[in-house]
Amino acid sequence: MQARLETGAIDDESALRHVFHLLQIVPGALAEVLTVDVGEDVFEEWLDSGAHMDAAHALVADHFPLKLSEPNGHAIVTIEAPWFDASGKASNDTSAKSILIAWLNCLIDLQSKATHEFLINPDPVLRGPRSEQHRPSTRH
């Protein structure tokens, strides 16, 4: 997705719609962080009316603070995931595209740091003995 966005192989509207639908099936604890606070009908209205910035901001939500500047008509975005000190940056021709690319870069950085943190401090349950004594089964 990121490469397609950067090369222009996918337009902003299609990319935003694709990411919106992927966020609907995010598993487990990630679903609490990767949320969209608007319904599909509102999101589709934004896309249909060309309000791509509103749609992009809805995908990032309040969990990922972002900074946007547009010097010389080029959008530069930095997005942060402060709970893991992760961030992503992007520069592209549209603000919506830059937000999506920066958000994807932030998620990649987040994944890297979360994996590293897990390897250093794994869940204590997982550090228990690999084979435990189990009571024998009884017939009922």
CATH number at residue 8: 3.30.160
For residue 130, being part of any structural domain is answered with no
pLDDT of residue 64: 83
Q: How confident is the model at residue 134 (pLDDT cuts 50, 70, 90)?
A: very low
For residue 16, being part of any structural domain is answered with yes
For residue 135, being part of any structural domain is answered with no
> Between the CA of residue 119 and those of 106, 112, 113, what are the distances in Å?
20, 11, 10
Task: Pick the range with the lowest mean pLDDT from 1-10, 83-92, 94-103, 122-131.
Answer: 122-131
Query: How far apart, in whole angstroms, are the C-alpha atoms of residue 35 and residue 28?
Result: 12
Q: How many domains does the chain have?
A: 1
For residue 56, being part of any structural domain is answered with yes
For residue 125, being part of any structural domain is answered with no
pTM here is 0.73
For residue 19, being part of any structural domain is answered with yes
The domain of 7 spans 2-116
56 phi, psi to nearest 5 deg: -65, -45
pLDDT of residue 130: 44
Query: How far apart, in whole angstroms, are the C-alpha atoms of residue 56 and residue 86?
Result: 19
Give me the residue label for tokens 């017939």: 139
The token pair at 94 is 């549209």
